Amino acid sequence: MFQGKIKANFIKTIIDATAILVDEAKFKIADDGIYGRTVDPAHVGMIDFKLKKEAFDDYDCKEETEIGIDLDKLKTALKVATSEEMVELKYEKEEGRLKVSIGNLTRKIALLDVTEMPDTKIPSLELPAEIVISTVEFHQAIKAAESISDHVTLIADKESFELVAEGDTDIVELRLSKEQLYSLKCEERVKSMFPLDYLSDMVKVARGKSEELTINLGNNYPIKLSFEMAGGYIKIMYLLAPRIESE
Amino acid sequence: MKVKPKKFISLDESICIRCRGAKLLCGKARCPVLVRYYKNLEAKPLVEKKIIFGSSPPSIFIGRHGYPNVYAGPMLPPLQGDTSYMDLPEKWHDKEIDDIVDFRMKLVRGKYRININTRTGKIIEYIQEVAMAERPVDMEIEFEKKPKGVIALYDEVQPHGPSAPIKKIWVENPKVNKRIEKLYYDEIKANEAVLLLYENGIFVSSIQKAFSAGLFGIEKRFVPTRWSITAVDDIIGKKLVEEIKNYRWIDEYRVYYTKSLDNLWVIFFYPSSWQYELIEAWYPNTTWNPLGKKIVMYGDYELYDGRHEYASIGGCYYAARLAVAEKLKKEKRQAGAIVLREIHPGYIMPVGVWNVRENVRKALKNEPKKFDNFKEAILFISSLLHIPIKRWIEVSYLFKNMLYQKRIDDYYCKIM
């Protein structure tokens, strides 16, 4: 049995963040919070989120369990709630449905079979550069890049962070010095290219949710994007595989 | 991830490929490519009479000019007996262009101006009955004047013969397909009707006929033949794609191929979540590359979530997708699929989008060549194609993606 009350905005963010990659997802409900980790069907992007019980008002989980969610359905159910409204979630194994209550309105959502949903592991990656950037500024640059190209190159060195996209005729660049970033840790120059359709969706989720976005970058290597909400009780992390054209 | 619309490439040579006689992108009043064919065909009048008696295969044609007020009517040859092959593209895959043109020219198109929403009237009833018919229907049409023209060509619709306005029409009581008739009386959505018939093994071409006659849906209306073909390919294809997304990926790389009407078809299946691309390479002096000195290549693709916009290469995209999805559905497997089509100079006139659907189906009935890895498969593909593989890769979104885009799986520790 699980029961919890949470701000609509928080649970909506978790659902939206996962829905950019998949239609259905498996969530683990544990005594200290809710966890989810999923890769998209093409195995290019991954999400890993932690929704700690502290992000809830009243959180009660008697027994650890896994539930399979049709994200579109839950999204529709949550649509009626304003972002500040409280949503009550309740799950009882016997019933097999997730009960979503907003005010006096309740909706029982049929759950999916989790036995068919594989467990996902996070690959262990050594990402030498860490950049903390303004989400708004990064989002703006990604949007500009998207208008001219399908992919973007991110470069970091000791002094700066750079974004470059080249279209058929035009070029988009963003260059920020160490001082213009929240922080920059980078010993040697690293450079990787990423597909913009994925990256743009990921950054869009972070915008408006967190002022800072942490980027971990390597050389022709996956990127890790992470941000926090609710005073750190909600953590969302994305991994995105690179595009390597030199091979 | 949804696919974004492809950027516009302003190449004069690609105008025809994007237009195919439909949009008149060249700014001329009539498609010069099609006009050229008409001129080359000797204008020997096939029909000298104003009254024709014959067996309709069955066949109907709904025009699109003047939409929503369009010309509709049955088509019939001045012949009696089993004419069913004349309107059954599912049986044409071993025919040559000349054979197809020869029997399609015999189909005379009766024209009657209707509003697509009109539901009553004798002629409208006749058209609907013919569209429901299971076997050839005897009919007699008296035309206002002698049928004009020799052959009418379209890109997506199969060609037909001369046409004239209908003055009087008599149609025998046809034997109708019971399933189609039942759906006509049922208040179910057009999409659902199409899928039900397809699942019951009704030919796609027959479903398209019934769809264009406005037999399905809550609000029934006529649909121009051209649009009905792609609509039905799209409805069925989309449904099949949704189903195959539940299946396991194929384990190996497969290459299928076939040749027909001087077209070379190479179809590549690879282990992946659903994604699909069709690329066509038109040689100079083929239908839609009449002016070019170079081979013009054009393609469209979709990723897992499908497309937002209508494919720029038109109905052939949806016809090939149906054939590909049908094959995977039958095997209960999921894969990525790339269809490569080389259109060699012997393909002298457009014969309709059935050519794409039926030839991809035909290729997929063959035993594929199987490979353990991408490199070997690509080498084999490259040995089949006349155009260097490098050029295909340049045009292809999915090939480039496979070559360059890494997957998360590539970063798991190999040693446990």
Phi, psi of B291 (to 5 degrees): -105, -20
Q: Which residues of A touch B276 (CB under 8 A)?
A: none
The token pair that represents B165 in the structure block:
């306005």
- Judge whether A170 is closer than 8 Å to chain B, CB to CB: no
- Judge whether A231 is closer than 8 Å to chain B, CB to CB: no
The token pair that represents B56 in the structure block:
């309709």
Tens of pLDDT, residue by residue over B78-125, are 999 999 999 999 999 888 888 888 899 899 999 999 999 998 899 999
The token pair that represents B152 in the structure block:
């009418």
Question: How many CB contacts within 8 angstroms connect chain A with chain B?
Answer: 59
Q: Determine whether the interchain pair A39/B272 forms a contact, defined as Cβ–Cβ distance below 8 Å.
A: no
Q: What residues are paired with B306 via a beta bridge?
A: none
Q: Do residues A221 and A240 touch, judged by C-beta distance below 8 A? A: no
Could you give the domains of chain A?
Answer: 2-116 (3.70.10.10), 129-240 (3.70.10.10)
Tens of pLDDT, residue by residue over B289-314, are 877 778 999 999 999 989 989 998 88
Q: Pick the residue with more confidence: B398 or B413? A: B398
Q: Which residue has the tokens 């962070």?
A: A161
Q: What residues are paired with B253 via a beta bridge?
A: B371
Instruction: Say how far apart CA B349 and CA B101 lie, in whole Å.
Output: 10
Q: Determine whether the interchain pair B411/A222 forms a contact, defined as Cβ–Cβ distance below 8 Å.
A: yes
Q: Which residues of B touch A201 (CB under 8 A)?
A: 1
Shortest Cα distance, chain A CAs vs residue B233, angstroms = 25
Note the pLDDT of residue B413. 73
Q: Which residues of B touch A121 (CB under 8 A)?
A: 412
Phi, psi of A91 (to 5 degrees): -140, 130
Nearest to B406 among A41, A46, A241 (CB): A241
Tens of pLDDT, residue by residue over A197-213, are 999 999 999 998 999 99
Note the pLDDT of residue B8. 37
What is the block-wise mean pLDDT of chain A (247 residues), using blocks of 10 residues? Answer: 93 96 94 95 95 93 93 94 93 89 93 88 93 97 95 96 94 96 96 96 94 96 96 96 84
Would you list the domain boundaries of chain B? 25-239, 253-413
The radius of gyration computed from the CA coordinates of chain A, to the nearest angstrom, equals 19
Q: What is the DSSP string of B243-302?
A: HHTTSPBPSSEEEEEEEETTEEEEEEEESSSSEEEEEEEEPTTBTTBSS-SS-EEEEEEE
Q: Determine whether the interchain pair A44/B405 forms a contact, defined as Cβ–Cβ distance below 8 Å.
A: yes
Residues A27, A28, A33, A36, CA torsion sign: negative
Nearest to B1 among A121, A123, A198 (CB): A198
Interface test with A, best of B1, B247, B304 (most A CBs within 10 A): B1
Give me the interface pTM, i.e. the ipTM.
0.90
Alpha-carbon separation of residue B272 from B278, B293, B306, B317 (angstroms): 16, 37, 15, 20
Q: Do residues B261 and B96 touch, judged by C-beta distance below 8 A? A: yes
| Smallest CA–CA distance from A220 into chain B, residue | B406
DSSP assignment letter at B14: G
Instruction: Say how far apart CA A154 and CA A161 lie, in whole Å.
Output: 8
Note the pLDDT of residue B42. 52
Q: Please tell me whether residue A59 adopts helix, strand or coil conformation.
A: strand
Q: What is the DSSP string of A113-169?
A: PGGGSPP-PPPP----EEEEEEHHHHHHHHHHHHTT-SEEEEEE-SSEEEEEEE-SS
Nearest to B408 among A43, A150, A243 (CB): A43
Nearest to B408 among A46, A195, A243 (CB): A46
Q: Which of B368, B340, B60, B356 lies closest to B237, judged by CA?
A: B356
Q: Which residues of A touch B413 (CB under 8 A)?
A: 123-124
Phi, psi of A73 (to 5 degrees): -65, -45
Q: Which residues of B touch A221 (CB under 8 A)?
A: 411
Q: Determine whether the interchain pair A41/B245 forms a contact, defined as Cβ–Cβ distance below 8 Å.
A: yes
Q: Which amino acid is at B18?
A: R
Nearest to B411 among A123, A150, A197 (CB): A123
Tell me if the bond preceding B68 is cis, omega within 30° of 0. yes
